[in-house]
Structure 1
Amino acid sequence: MEIRLWNPNLKVRLFGEGLFNLLFWMYYPFITVYFGAALGSHIAGILMSIPPIFSIIGSLLGGALADRVGRRPVMLLGASLQTVMFALFAMSSSHWTDYIAFIGIGLGGAIYRPASSAMVADLVPAQNRRQIFATFVTANNVGAVLGPALGAVFFFHYRQELLWTCALVLLLYFIAMYFIVHETLPQSAKSSPDASIPITRVFKEQLKGYGIIFRDKVFLVYILAGIFALIPIMQLDLYLAVYVINEVPAQPLFTWNDGSLVLSSTEIFGWVLGLNGLLFVLFVLPVTKWFRHWKERNVFILSSLLSGVGTFSLGLGTNIWFLFFITIIFTFGEIVRSPVTQSFISRYAPEHARGQYMGADNLQFTIGRFLAPMTVFLSSWVPPMGIFSIILVVACISIALYIQLFRMHAEQPEAAE
């Protein structure tokens, strides 16, 4: 489905979200370092564990509201909250106000996303949705490639200007949505009996459903394994940022005759993030094809092994090209995992409860994001190789849990197809 044939709603979203995602990746990877330098690494580690809690609340709220008041109002609410919080961040002279603004930005994004995804499902036939979502993911990953390299300069030297630019872009996006984007809430949702159920009751019903799901021992082991597997993967913008900026010296990327291109520690980290994003853009589809005949068990184990060993190996050297090589290793650990998680849970979940299981599946990312910053907290007392050793142990725990998972749940033949 060519972009020129897309509904105007989708075109506005693709352009607006793609531009904002570029700006997002110019500041987000450096937030941990920013708060660590201002408040101390141990406090920063604790502070970075709190935003995921607000993300859970925002996602539940955004999803519930999107089915009741409509997609467009919820998207406008999320975008306006982010705009205000970016302006607050730009004007702030207090690090604690900065932190409140950072939480507000994340909350606004969490409110926005469920309505945004629902709008795609409303507008696009089922056979075209995968292509549309893939286009949005590709646009976001382009931002993840370029953003960190630019942010390594702009965030630390022109932070206020960058934050004001984010606020302005979101304001323009809000205006574009207000005048161009139309409501897509299906008539069936408007007339549904659930539409009259209070939001508080919706939350209670969802929590009750999660309670039933987590009495499923196989699924519980799957979630635990996922949490331990994601902690090493999530270090890219957490402890890895602290380590590279504080421990890796400035060094030349290239040398020629009497000249050289010297990168600072911050710029090296930006290039590492950019390489990570570029690998995703180039290899996520080929890697998915390469491993399509592998059993899910083996893919999960390979992912944890590559991400754990790769992250641990970062502590073995500080040469820029060595860091790039190791980045390739742990990035492939993340890439091979991406398509398998959804295929496993969609196959395992009973048909009548597939939606609830898919929702509960997201908790491994939220809980992982909550626990992952503990490495930053511990870095105030534990040397780098100690932190990298902890990360490796966590990856080994995930491997053991995945082995146990597939002992408890015999793989079905189609998993190997």
Structure 2
Amino acid sequence: MTGKSVDDSYAGGLAATWRMLPTPLRALLIARMVNRVGGFSMAFLAVLLTESLHASVRTAGVVVAAFGLATIPSRLLGGWLLDRIGARPTILLGLIGCAAAQTVLVAAGTVPVAAVAAVGLGLAYELIEPATQAMVADVSDDRTRPAVFGLLFVSMTLAAVLAGGMAALVAGWDLRVLFAIDAITCVACAVVVRAFLPSGHRRPADVAVRLAPWRDRRLMIVSLTGTVFTTVYMTAIFGQPLTIASRQVGLWVIGAGTVVGAVAAVLAQPLLRRPKLNADNGVRALVLGYLLLAGALILVGFAQQPMLFLSAAAVSAVADVLLMGHLYATVSALAPPGGSGRYLAVFGLSWGVATTVAPLVIGATLSWHDGRVLWLGAAVVSLALAGVQFRVTRVVRGSRHTTGSSVVAADA
């Protein structure tokens, strides 16, 4: 960047923050937006298995859980590769792997073949995340980081506007088309990354030390609450399409809900710049986010008409803005210099756990009382997260960027 920083543009709004980002990061965000246009297919994986391959809901849950389990080593491998070969090769490997697995899903004629493809997709799916998030963390500070991470997530939601419209259009056709589109956008994203990101190199971390984020108690506490949140989140992602299908509301509502949620997320971005809401490590923003999420889950639990599902999508999107921006900003702030990629990779394991657990919970409970047990139970968990957040924030409010033996250890 030249002369100005993200901190200088903080008060200037979303567009000003975008202009201040370095060119490689802007190119990466654009590439991720291209990829996100086709990325809506994962919400339909369980539906593809049940509707196109005639799997039971329980079997579909096991396959989706296997996908989630595979994302756990994928996230760790992404952080490891980032430190050793750099961002561009790591991201390219993940994108090409995703495209290959999606292609196999398109061609799959049986549940076992689809299951193998889903596991392969999981192994590639999270490789790109540590590199992307570390680049975001490196260009921001404690004050601006929630807004810059918000920019990352809003870029995804802007793409989701087009993705939702496409899903609404294509969902009435063969669901395999969704996965073919996803594979194509992965390749398109790879082309942009290859053209604009610098060639691979090690992360600029102190080579004399080896980060040991597992020893950071604060990170473990944030990761624990983050895992509970992401499990609730993935329950909504995977469970809502099945709920909509079982209540015969119309599959178009899934795509339309994506559009409504994306618009709501864009409109909610100024919340990340409200000083009072974001003070004290964003504790008020996090509590508000959990309360809004609980409200959205309750709406889904009782929804029988499209309007209630769409209202839940809007409320949930506002919650996502508050929760995603501040959770990732908190983890980045805990990391020592040069360690954001590894810390974010460890925190990101919560998504792998959630993607494994949530489908199993859905498969076991979705049929109970028309899904109300599932959705109201998830709402109770979200309310509990709101209740413990002040205590969690007090724990992580201590010294930042620890460089003692609890976080780093000498290389053997």
Q: TM-score, normalization: structure 1?
A: 0.74
Alignment-derived partner of residue 233 in structure 1: 233
Decide which of 40, 45, 57 is 1:31's aligned counterpart.
45
From 266, 273, 278, give the equivalent of 1:292. Answer: 278
AA aligned to 2:95 is: A
Report how many aligned residue pairs link the two structures: 379
Contact 1:221 1:401 in 2 (8 A): no
Q: Which of 212, 228, 231 is equivalent to 2:215?
A: 212
The residue number in structure 1 matching 2:100 is: 84
Cα deviation, 1:335-363, whole Å, max 9, x if unaligned, reads 22233324444566678987765444333
Does 2:260 align with 1:275?
Answer: yes
Taking the aligned partners of 2:291 and 2:231, their CA distance within structure 1 comes to 13
Q: Which has the larger radius of gyration?
A: 1
Q: How does 1:382-401 map to 2 (within 5 A)?
A: 382-383=368-369, 384-401=371-388
> Alpha-carbon deviation of 1:288?
4.3
> Paired residue for 2:409?
none
- CA spacing shift, 1:163–1:267, aligned 2, 3 Å: same
Partner Cα distance (1:328, 1:277) in 2: 8
Write the distance in 2 (CA, Å) between the matches of 1:93 and 1:222.
42
SS at match of 2:231: helix
How far apart are residue 80 of structure 1 and its match?
A: 2.4
Structure-1 separation of matches of 2:325 and 2:63: 31
Task: Please list every run of 5 or more consecutive structure 1 residues that lacks an aligned counterpart in the other structure.
Answer: 195-204, 250-264
Check conservation: 1:231, 1:368, Cα contact below 8 A: yes
Rounded Cα–Cα distance in structure 1 between residues aligned with 2:298 and 2:140 = 44
Q: Is the 8 A contact 2:86 2:203 kept in 1?
A: no
- Alignment partner of 1:266 is 2:251: yes
What does the per-residue CA deviation read over 1:50-99, in whole Å, with 9 as the maximum and x for residues that have no partner? Answer: 32332221222233223323433333322322232222222221232223
Amino acid at match of 1:101: A
Q: Which deviates more, 64-73 or 350-359?
A: 350-359
Q: Residue 93 of structure 1 aligns to a residue in which SS?
A: coil
* 2:32 partner amino acid: E
- What residue in structure 1 maps to residue 310 of structure 2? 324
Match of 1:17 among 11, 20, 32: 32
Q: Which amino acid aligns with 2:65?
A: S
Distance 1:382 1:284, change over 3 A: same
Change (3 A) 1:313 1:295: same
Distance 1:167 1:66, change over 3 A: same
Provide the residue aligned with 2:166 in structure 1. 150
C-alpha contact (below 8 Å) 1:309/1:392 kept by paired residues: yes
**Alpha carbons of 1:228 and 1:10: their partners in 2 closer, same or farther (altered >3 Å)?**
closer
AA at the equivalent of 1:88 = V
Deviation for aligned residue 1:243:
0.8
Compute the RMSD of aligned alpha carbons. 4.0
Instruction: Provide the rounded CA distance (Å) in 2 between the counterparts of 1:117 and 1:354.
Output: 8
Question: 1:410 & 1:117 partners in 2: Cα distance?
Answer: 20
Paired residue secondary structure (2:368): coil
Deviations 1:136-170 (A, max 9, x none): 54332122222133213314514444444443444
Q: Residues 139 and 379 of structure 1: is their aligned pair in 2 closer, same or farther, counting only changes over 3 Å?
A: same
Aligned counterpart, 2:4 = none
SS in structure 2 of the partner of residue 77 of structure 1: helix
Paired residue type of 2:121: I
For 1:20, the aligned partner's letter is N
Kept in 2: contact 1:239–1:375 (CA 8 A): no
C-alpha contact 2:149 2:329 (8 A) present in aligned 1: no
From 111, 119, 122, the counterpart of 1:103: 119
- 8 Å contact from structure 1 (residues 226, 398) kept in 2: no
Aligned counterparts of 1:326 and 1:86: Cα–Cα separation in 2: 29
Whether the 8 Å contact between 1:41 and 1:380 is mirrored in structure 2 is: no
Q: Tell me what 2:224 maps to.
A: 224
- Alpha carbons of structure 1 residues 135 and 19: separation in structure 2 relative to 1, 3 Å: same
Q: Name the CA distance, whole Å, in 2 between partners of 1:170 and 1:317.
A: 34
Aligned mates of 2:324, 2:203 — CA distance in 1: 34
**Residues 68/179 of structure 1: CA separation in 2 closer, same or farther (3 Å cut):** same
Question: Residue 247 of structure 1: CA displacement?
Answer: 0.7
Contact 2:87 2:200 in 1 (8 A): yes
